[in-house]
Amino acid sequence: MDGKSIICSTDAMQKTGKIAIEEHWGNQELNDLRTEWGKRTGYAVTVDPKAIAYSFPRMLDFDKFRLPSMDEFGITMQVISTGSPGVQGYADTRKAISRAKALNDAQAEIIHKYPGRFAGFAGLPTQDPKAAADELDRAVKQLGFKGAMIQGSTNWEYLDENKYWVIWEKAEALEVPIYLHVQEPSFATAKLYEGHPELTGATWAWGVETATHALRIINSGVFDAFPKATLILGHLGEALPYLLGRLDEGFFMAAKSGRKLNKALSEYIRSNLLATTSGLYRPETLLCAITAMGEDRILYAMDYPFVEPKASVDCFMRTPLTDEVREKISHLNAEKWLKL
């Protein structure tokens, strides 16, 4: 079976109940924040707004767009979070802290309004790592959230730095994952794409930035210090599952300046990382991720509203999987890892 010969009916899509865990919502404040962040950082828009003109109204309206779409394509639950740049986009630390609380409260109201259809990942004010850890604690214990989504770096600082370890410590203690979402690369890295805007954004730059961020976290020793901490990467692991042997070979040969880890890089990816199916991919890519990381560590996600729901579900349904593995990725793994 080559994964191309299966065309899924809406009936088949509905029968396989799915929990989707990288699903975004927003409001006018968050949309304005994206514009303000772009002006402040000097970043040009890396996504053609005409290509995804449907995304903004879908992001806001739950009754007209989101819930009917979920019902049509068999999405029993979405784990929702704010879109990029999220809380990481605020320049002022005090404002980031106050707005994180307000946005998380607003998200909790959405979840409460539609019982059983939504769960949430918290937005964290990483501009103040201690405040971020405190907000994660509040969001999990008081609002019932299932972890946090962090929108990449914070002012080009990465989560491997020691000052951010308080967040990892809290996540391990609460037994909830941190989902690392894609973001624009630093300005130094962005020079790689000069003259080739088609390679920015989702084509290449976001994945490279996020995969590198994840490797920084692993190589810093975060998972040696907090072995039960869990990092989620979208887009089938941002290519890391396909490089396990190369990563181990490279680390062995690298000039490491005395850096030591308790395990091989590939073992952290197999034991501390989860990957989701967010975005579009080819069926053979999902099969590779399952082989590399294990069928218990891959979770379904759509990346709503930026991906057409039918295309996302069709990619998943025409991947040749056993019924047992399909059920795990569809919803059982999310239920286990997020305690749904």
Strands 178-180 and 148-150: parallel
Ordered DSSP codes for 259-321: ---SS-HHHHHHHTEEEE--S---HHHHHHHHHHH-GGGEE----TTTS-HHHHHHHHHTS--
The structure tokens listed for 6 are: 């299966």
Give the active site residue among 128, 134, 160, 303.
303
Edge-to-edge order in the sheet of strand 273-276: 148-150, 178-180, 231-233, 273-276, 298-299
Residue type, 81: S
Residues 267-271: contacts with CB within 8 Å, 24+ apart? 268/218, 268/223, 269/218, 269/237, 269/240, 269/241, 269/244, 269/293, 270/244, 270/294, 270/297, 271/223
Q: How far apart are CA 156 and CA 214, in angstroms?
A: 14
Q: How far apart are CA 330 and CA 301, in angstroms?
A: 9
Q: Does the active-site annotation cover 323?
A: no
The set of residues, in sequence order, having a beta carbon less than 8 Å from that of 237 and lying 6+ positions away, is 211, 269, 273, 275, 289, 292, 293
Q: How far apart are CA 309 and CA 223, in angstroms?
A: 35
Q: Which residues of 68-96 are buried (b: 16+ CB within 10 A; e: fewer)?
A: ebbeebbbbbbbbbbbbbbbbbbeeeeeb
Dihedral of CA 196/202/208/213: which sign? positive
What are the residue numbers of the active site? 303
